[in-house]
Structure 1
Amino acid sequence: MSNRNSSVGVNLGGLTYYSSEIKFVDVAKESSNWITQRWGNHAWDTHELAKVNMRQDGYPASLPDDMALEKLVLRSLSHPPSGVYTILYDGEGDIEINLLHYQKVYTGKGRMLINVTIGQAGIGIKLRRTNPANPLHNLRVILPGFEARHEHFPFYPLFLESLVRYSEFRYMDFLHTNGHTPEPTTWGSRKHTTYHTQAGTEGGSLEYAILLSNMLGANPWFNMPHAADDNFVMQFAKQVNQTLRPDLRVYVEYSNEVWNGIFRQNHFATEKGHSSGLDSGWKAAFKYYNKRSHEMAQIWRSIYGASDKLVLAWAWQTGYQDYTRQALEDLGTRVNDFTALAITGYFTCDLTSKHISSLPSMTYNEVLSICTNYIQNKTRSSFSYFMGLAKARNLHLLMYEGGQHIVEHAPQHEQITNKLVDINENDIMETLNRNLLDVWNDVVTKHSTSVGGLFNYFSSCGQYSKYGSWGMLEYTGQPYSSAPKYRAVQKFISSQSHNTEVAPRCSFVDLGSVSYGCFLVGNRPYCGSTTDRGQKWTIENGALGPTKTPVEVTA
């Protein structure tokens, strides 16, 4: 529980076949959708997926004799794990490995071991044949060393290690909030853990999000899909209430940045605002946002009641303060059903606007000076304004996204892109991000209760490119020494921490009828399993050596 007193949360990266944040030991969970290929046709994708008879789990019930399906994993990554991968599947069919050289170590019914060094192309998994009487399904591509434990412990340990100190995870990208499909979104259309991939516009499975929060003791922040119907919101809230650890708090927000014209949810809200007669002009979007977010809040409150375990966040556009003020005025007395106002906390330093002409020749010290001044003045002023706005309406103030926003707007120029990436990888980013955190703490966190003052960094991990350098880490497992943003955040968390112990006396995660965890006997730590919620433990490995002798432990 080293995240116990942390006021820092994090936005997790999305689930894609090219994400540098490897979340699962079964990387098929982050694979692409199937593409169709025909024998004798040299097209990479014949775009015939609509013709394939698919099962509910996303695997083909049958295939034409001259058609194959292919999916990609670990594409375009700079540091993918290499070694012996295990490929498992149920049912009957033929699998082919593409796009890389490999040594086949073993092949048998439903199981293949391949020794690979993965390049930029990643791994192509081609399904050449499936038996209609027993279709191939439940395909797993397991990282080296995790075959024996992937079902009980699905998350990649290096991913978990990078997250252990955050008190909250925002699952906005994990659940693919931006442009979420389908419309309408029903409970029956949600993604299940058994689906062939967790990637895609439907978002990942709620079950995996809850499991991750339960394992690491981090409060979840959920964004309801913009087109979710009432039953979806109700069933979602019920499942969270029933399966989330009871000591955790849940944050809830309607969609994400509904004000932002680059996202489908903005156009959806505008259309709904017009068609329902809320407004015929530009105010339609925030009037519909207020209506639907308030309806969402009432549904969640019907499940949680007045519990302080539920935090309902309202958010609009931080960059245009009067726009947010007008939206809040329209909300009126409905504001009483919300817990918090959520804003962004980015620093741009005006590098790609006011300073674009001098940027290519700018030194790191010049960037440091410009950005320090920006954070201490412009950013501090923004935080102060919204702190006042929140207090006036009896709301807590939260940050749903924050960090650096040093990115060039279209059109991009290679020289500028390279300069911005270089700046983001330089040690000055440790100083600047720490300055940002300190200003937020000074203006907001120090004056808030445990509910308010949360700083949500954007984002946990991501490769740097012309589209931005958002990740604290550039890839899962990146050394601490080469990750200045990550260093800044970890040192800030350490400065806040007053814990003298890093774990409770007995902690575990429930996985069905068996729980796993670490516990103390006297002052000696052990790891093991328990079937009676920690009254007796079977030691798996410890100072006594491997044993299956139950050990009594005190509560």
Structure 2
Amino acid sequence: MFLAESRLCQAISIAFAMAGLCLGSNSAHAQTRSGVGLNLSGIAYYSPALPTIDQFKLTDKWLTQCGGEWQPVEIQCAPEGDQNKVIANWDTGEQNKLDLDENGWVKRLPTANSSDKYRYVSALLFQENNRSHVAGNYTILYDGKGKISYGLNFTVVSQEQGKDVVTVSNTRDEGLLISITQTDPTNYLRNIRVIPPGGVCAKKPEVYADSAAKCTDKTGPFVPFTDTVGQKTWHPAFLADLKGFRTLRFMDWGMTNGYVDPATWAPKVQPLIRWADRPQDSHAFWASNKGAPYTAMFDLAASAGADPWINLPPQIDDDFAIQFGQLAKRMLAPGHDLILEYGNEPWNGMFPATGWYVEQGQAKVARKEWDDKHEAWELGMNWHALRATQVCQLVKSQFGTEAKRVKCVMNGQASWTDLARQYLDCSMASQSDLGGKPCSDYMDALAIAPYFGDYLSSINPDVRAARQTWYTQKDGGLSKVFEELLGEDAKGNAIDPPLLGKIEDSVKGGAIELSRKRTESSYALAQSRGLSLFAYEGGQHLVKIPSEWVCVASGTQDSDSCGKYEDANALENDQNWVPLLIAANRDPRMAKAYTRFMQKWIDEKAQTYLFFNHIGTPGQYGAWGLKEQQFSNDWVKWKAIQPYRKGDCWWAGCVP
């Protein structure tokens, strides 16, 4: 698509081209380059981030569905049990039965007498996305012959061959369901695009205009998105947010941490192994379990004037790394570097890749390549470090004399410096595979995640008791949260944090001072290995209190006979703690916390700092987003980081 866009750009008017309407007008390269970067929110139908103009790209899969008795007989579910009763099925889980083309479009549907349960397929958009999408008329374009119907939150305005217009509101949590109920196998429905309302002004094509009323004689006539189909990929409101950041990290775009198998609910490692199976920009969905296309990542980074930080999947083979390196060499914008990371948080047992790394290390032992005198986690750690080194060298080799444009990072844990040391030394891999050289010799930076405030949700009894007293205060505990984060009272006077002495993590100066101490230790380690220190993620880390499951049935604690468990912390989370953490993230004092936190990072001489993350809906799993919705900038954390986004980098030798 991006090559096609370049040809289309050459064909449109000179006025539009000069104004930078097309991708590839690297005007952003001339701007000041800051020292901060941004983790992008994952692409998903439920995300409040809307990166693409074609919003069908935000879907992740086809739902295999069949309808109830109110539906036409050809798409009804086959009767089950009671042969006179037809029950609708939201998802029959038969995705493996779909007949798809190379881009994921459905080539045929089951006939009425098929043994398959499903009768049609659907894609879901905007569901539970914090009502972040724009309300108004959406234009649905498609190729081929068949029948498309709509469900949930919609009103049909018009329908004609190849083009439907539906009104979608954002006053309810329901999204838009797009269903293919009939398709011609000889000319099947495909290339569905969902174009939102709004557009740009002709002379200001980088600025989003929600209607023609926003355009004036100075800015030129209104150009709706429907007039630029195939010419622009990125929503201008999304792209405007990204300009000024030094680096964009695509970890969640690449589904690096794996996915949950919808059939078994088991966590699975991101499945990419061969380059031929990588996502393509022409694919129907960009939110599948393989992630978004690398071409899109490079293009977005170039359009924003940022270095792409790309995490390669754990299981890739050597050819994948080589082919990726060749693509990176072609697409990396002039004057920019590729930040390369293999996997993400290899030490984090919550992600399925960690166990997979251990299996690979154990296989080395089974083959007698490594000795058997090490614990399983050490084997996994060494294998990840070795593979990170190999992948780094394969990618760098494709850049030839420009290999320095690839900056390889090793992921470490901010609170456990010795773990990062062991990754960098990789003693087993060093002795057996690297000729005695440590893995750090092949890296350019150590990357940590210096969050602050994680321990406030501890299940430590003393911390739990302290929280109970916070909730009784007039502000529900907000002042106590910030006393712990900042180590000062409401007037700015230094005080002992409320949890000091109750938990090891609480130190004089508060949670932000603890993060500084961790950074200091990691910086010393990086310096000792001749590496830079980056923050791959960071910011506040207020999350729900971990679940503690207790048996509440039959008065027994016998796990084999207990019929019912309850989360002992659910009530505190629901009624007190989660509302408090959300309120804290919206409180003006959080801006002060971010400012102080960033100053301490800068004072420690550390380098590029990446916030986690761009846009997100706050809830029990955290309030990670600097913004909660795309089309508003009035968010405390977002406003707090603007001086760093708009300022110069700060370390010796940095190039603004």
Partner of 2:452: 347
- 2:426 matched to 1:326? no
Partner of 1:300: 395
Match of 1:26 among 35, 54, 69: 54
Deviates more, 1:2-11 or 1:463-472: 2-11
User: Structure 1 residue 375: deviation in Å?
Assistant: 4.3
Partner of 1:360: 471
Percent of aligned positions that are identical:
28
* 1:410-450 Cα shifts (integer Å, max 9, x gaps): 224202111111111111111111111111011124xxxxx
Contact 1:270/1:288 (CA < 8 Å) preserved in 2? yes
Structure 1: tracts of 5 or more residues without a match: 446-452, 499-555
Match of 1:109 among 161, 170, 176: 161
- The one-letter amino acid of 1:369's match is E
Match of 2:305 among 217, 220, 223: 217
Root-mean-square deviation (CA), in Å?
2.0
CA distance in 2, matches of 1:350, 1:401: 17
CA distance in 1, matches of 2:31, 2:478: 33
- 2:36 matched to 1:8? yes
* 1:241-291 Cα shifts (integer Å, max 9, x gaps): 112212111100110001100101101101111112145522111111111
The count of residues paired between Structure 1 and Structure 2 equals 489
- 2:349 matched to 1:261? yes
Shift in alpha-carbon separation, 1:11–1:3, aligned structure 2, 3 A: farther
- The one-letter amino acid of 1:464's match is P
Partner of 2:638: 486
- The one-letter amino acid of 1:485's match is K
Structure 2: tracts of 5 or more residues without a match: 1-27, 67-74, 78-87, 113-118, 199-224, 260-268, 428-436, 487-508, 548-569, 651-656
- 2:248 matched to 1:169? yes
Alignment of 1:79-98 (within 5 A): 79-98=132-151
Could you tell me the TM-score, scaled by structure 1's length?
Answer: 0.84
Contact 2:35/2:644 (CA < 8 Å) preserved in 1? no
- 2:109 matched to 1:63? yes
- The one-letter amino acid of 2:515's match is T
Match of 1:383 among 498, 501, 519: 519
- The one-letter amino acid of 2:243's match is V
Q: Secondary structure at the match of 2:640?
A: helix
Contact 2:49/2:615 (CA < 8 Å) preserved in 1? yes
CA distance in 1, matches of 2:253, 2:321: 17
Answer with 1 or 2: which has the greater Rg.
2
- 2:96 matched to 1:50? yes
CA distance in 1, matches of 2:639, 2:53: 25
Contact 2:34/2:645 (CA < 8 Å) preserved in 1? yes
- The one-letter amino acid of 1:351's match is L
- The one-letter amino acid of 1:299's match is L
Match of 2:485 among 371, 388, 397: 371
Contact 1:346/1:405 (CA < 8 Å) preserved in 2? yes
Partner of 2:383: 288
* 1:434-477 Cα shifts (integer Å, max 9, x gaps): 111111011124xxxxxxx0001000111001111000011111
- 2:173 matched to 1:37? no
User: Structure 1 residue 130: deviation in Å?
Assistant: 0.9
Partner of 1:144: 197
Alignment of 1:235-250 (within 5 A): 235-250=323-338
CA distance in 1, matches of 2:181, 2:277: 28
Partner of 2:612: 458
- The one-letter amino acid of 1:417's match is V
Shift in alpha-carbon separation, 1:455–1:261, aligned structure 2, 3 A: same
Deviates more, 1:410-419 or 1:166-175: 410-419
Contact 1:3/1:166 (CA < 8 Å) preserved in 2? no
Could you tell me the TM-score, scaled by structure 2's length?
Answer: 0.72
Partner of 1:503: none
Q: Secondary structure at the match of 1:220?
A: strand
Partner of 1:338: 443
CA distance in 1, matches of 2:306, 2:484: 35
Contact 1:258/1:266 (CA < 8 Å) preserved in 2? yes
Shift in alpha-carbon separation, 1:134–1:173, aligned structure 2, 3 A: same
CA distance in 2, matches of 1:183, 1:191: 11
Shift in alpha-carbon separation, 1:325–1:495, aligned structure 2, 3 A: same
- The one-letter amino acid of 2:327's match is Q
Shift in alpha-carbon separation, 1:156–1:184, aligned structure 2, 3 A: closer
Contact 1:37/1:44 (CA < 8 Å) preserved in 2? yes
